[in-house]
Structure 1
Amino acid sequence: MTASAPAVVRRLTARALLLGDRLDSAGLERADAFSTNPLAFRAGSDGFVALYRFGVAVMIGLSPLEEDDVLNLVKLRVFGQHEHVDDETAILAIAPGGDDRVEPDGPIELRDESPERMLVVCDALAKSVSLGRDEREVNAVFDVVEPFAASLAKSGRAPWRRRSMLKLIGETLIAQHRVSGRVAVEEKPDVLWDRPDLERLYARLEDEYELRERAGALTRKLDMIVGTARILTDILDADRATRLEATIVILIVAEILLTIGQLIFLKHA
């Protein structure tokens, strides 16, 4: 006889919502919380909630009404709220006695519903949804920077006016501020310090959502954007210096001409 595959006894929906730029969980602490970083606790009839400081709330196993109750409470602590809420959804299949597996385009299979496993899943979903927003914001700036860089390389001259250049520098600084340091994708969740046996599950989730690859591509684009902003700053400084030198030369020539005119006038007076 061959051993049959463990039966899936429960399916849960996990939703990660990017609500804003920052989420302050101070004041939301609970006695039944099983984690403080991120703040995580049970909610609803039998669900989980994890709140991340970079503006993400992850809810597992909650009904729509239960999710609304959590969001109404959490939104009071969100700063820099987004008009459009990004979300990432995954299906969890709880299979007691089975293995933790992440099938491509399939459910995330878990051995049990332990808080530690839920935290590992929440961490991957939170990073993925936040990376999605960062990718869109950086790509919007990159789409403007790339043609400018190509034109600058081809002609050797800035093709835009000063105001356009300043606007691009401002957009670059905003993208850098929003992205840099907000989500430490390469950092593993704290729960793995106590549960090293969950390292394999996290590695599979990391591969499934391509967290490292996406973070690397994001960093490279951001580096190019920042480098372009520095070039723009240098161009503006050079233009300012050129204008200043031209103004000084004009003043010197004007003074010389005025002096010559005075000498001629005195000679014929």
Structure 2
Amino acid sequence: MTPITLFNNKPVIDARAVFLGERIDLRSLEAGRSIAVAPLTLAAGESGCAVFFRYGVVVFFGLEPIEEVSLLSQLAPMVQEAYAERESEQMKIYREHAEQDHVAPNGDLYLREFSTERLQVVADILSKSVVLAWYEKHVAAAFDRIEPLAANLQRYGRGMNRKNEFMRHIGDTLLIQHKMVGRVEVIDKPEILWERPELERLYAHLEDEYELQERHRALERKLDLISKTVETQLDILNNTHMLRVEWYVVALIVFEILLTLYELFFRHFAK
């Protein structure tokens, strides 16, 4: 692929990633303005472009705000289970004729050229970062909800009788893990690096800048703790129910014995 010239030779462009929903139907997108595939990259607006990810993220490059709004409106019918509150992330990208691409201390990115491949690498990082940010918020909320369970166990030494709620927590945890690993593949490198290994350094710098690996591990630890806390509560609840059933059985046996003794006693005195 050749360097793209979509930005009217601007020396600086804005990039913005938006997490729209569960999935984008890429088949419905206009193929006529396609610049590249894997990930799908289309010309957009007057002189910009957009990179689309099946797992619900679009990354804009060099678009005016009104152009972003227009494109988002066009995308709306193609987004499955759209989010009411969208997560977004943005950065400035400068074109600089230097030996190496690099990230400035303030987070701005300097690229040797605005090539399609470089923009796809940037889009991959931003898309993963915005997905992580969305899940970080939701996992933090789930963490707050299960904290009283652990506090109750520590304070009273017993679980709480909310089996349906516990099952929902487990379901939420498994769903998040499935999406992070199965759909987004946060810790996997993009396919473009197989074709352009010289961009590995750029990817590594951006991955480190956005702390993708560290954030992914932190999320996994929180999800694991949520799962263990809820499973512990369920075990306690199930054991309590089993103990209760055992006492019911013992009570029935005792009642049957007493009834038998009463019948024997009654027969004895009836004679």
In the alignment, what sits opposite 2:4?
none
Equivalent residues of 1:88, 1:129 under 8 A apart: yes
Q: Counterparts in 2 of 1:46-125, with a 5 A limit?
A: 46-97=47-98, 99-125=100-126
- 1:44 Cα deviation after fit: 1.4
Q: Is the Cα contact below 8 Å between 1:15 and 1:90 reproduced in 2?
A: yes
> Structure 2: how far apart are the matches of 1:18 and 1:67?
13
Aligned partner of 2:5 in structure 1 is: none
Q: Return the alpha-carbon distance in structure 2 between the equivalents of residues 67 and 18 of structure 1.
A: 13
Unaligned runs of 5+ in 2: 1-8
Q: Which has the larger displacement, 19-28 or 52-61?
A: 19-28
Deviations 1:30-78 (A, max 9, x none): 1442433322211112211111122111111111222122212222122
Partner deviation per Cα, 1:88-117 (whole Å, 9 max, x = no partner): 011111124553111122421111111101
1:147 positional shift = 4.8
Residue 166 of structure 1: aligned partner: 164
Aligned to 1:251: 252
Q: Distance in 1 between matches of 2:236 and 2:64?
A: 56
**Runs (4+) off by over 4 Å:** none
Does the residue aligned with 1:54 lie in a helix, a strand or coil? coil
1:182-193 matches, within 5 Å, as 182-193=183-194
Q: In structure 2, do the counterparts of structure 1 residues 224 and 101 end up closer, same or farther at CA, with 3 Å as the change threshold?
A: same
- Say whether the 8 Å CA contact 1:20–1:81 is kept in structure 2: yes
State the TM-score, normalizing by the size of structure 1: 0.88
State the distance in 2 between where 1:221 and 1:266 align.
Answer: 67
Instruction: Quote the sequence identity (%).
Output: 41
Q: Is the 8 A contact 2:102 2:202 kept in 1?
A: yes
Residues in 2 aligned to 1:263 and 1:96: alpha-carbon distance in whole angstroms: 105
Q: CA 1:81/1:18 → structure 2, altered by over 3 Å: closer, same or farther? A: same
Q: Secondary structure at the match of 1:26?
A: helix
Letter of the 1:125 partner, please give it. L
Q: How does 1:185-224 map to 2 (within 5 A)?
A: 185-224=186-225
1:209-238 Cα shifts (integer Å, max 9, x gaps)? 111111111111111111222212212221
Look up the equivalent residue of 1:175 and give its one-letter code: T
Matches within 5 A, 1:23-34: 23-28=24-29, 30-34=31-35
CA contact (8 A) 2:169 2:230 kept: no
CA shift for structure 1 position 176: 3.0
After superposition, the Cα gap between the structure-2 partners of 1:29 and 1:52, relative to the gap in structure 1 and judged at 3 Å, is same
Contact 1:104 1:208 in 2 (8 A): no
Structure-2-length-normalised TM-score: 0.88
CA distance in 2, matches of 1:223, 1:46: 45
Asked if structure 2 preserves the Cα contact closer than 8 Å seen for 1:169 and 1:232, the reply is: no
Q: Deviations over 1:238-265 (max 9, x none)?
A: 1221121111111111111222222222
What CA distance in whole angstroms lies between the structure 1 residues aligned with 2:189 and 2:205?
A: 13
Stretch of structure 1 that moved more, 179-188 or 58-67 = 179-188
CA distance change for structure 1 residues 98 and 63 in 2, over 3 Å: closer, same or farther?
Answer: farther
- 1:179 and 1:82, CA in 2 relative to 1: closer, same or farther beyond 3 A? farther
1:151 Cα shift?
Answer: 4.6
Q: Is the 8 A contact 1:101 1:201 kept in 2?
A: yes
Amino acid at match of 1:177: L
Amino acid at match of 2:185: A
For 1:29 and 1:197, locate their aligned partners in 2 and report how far apart those are by CA, in whole Å.
Answer: 31
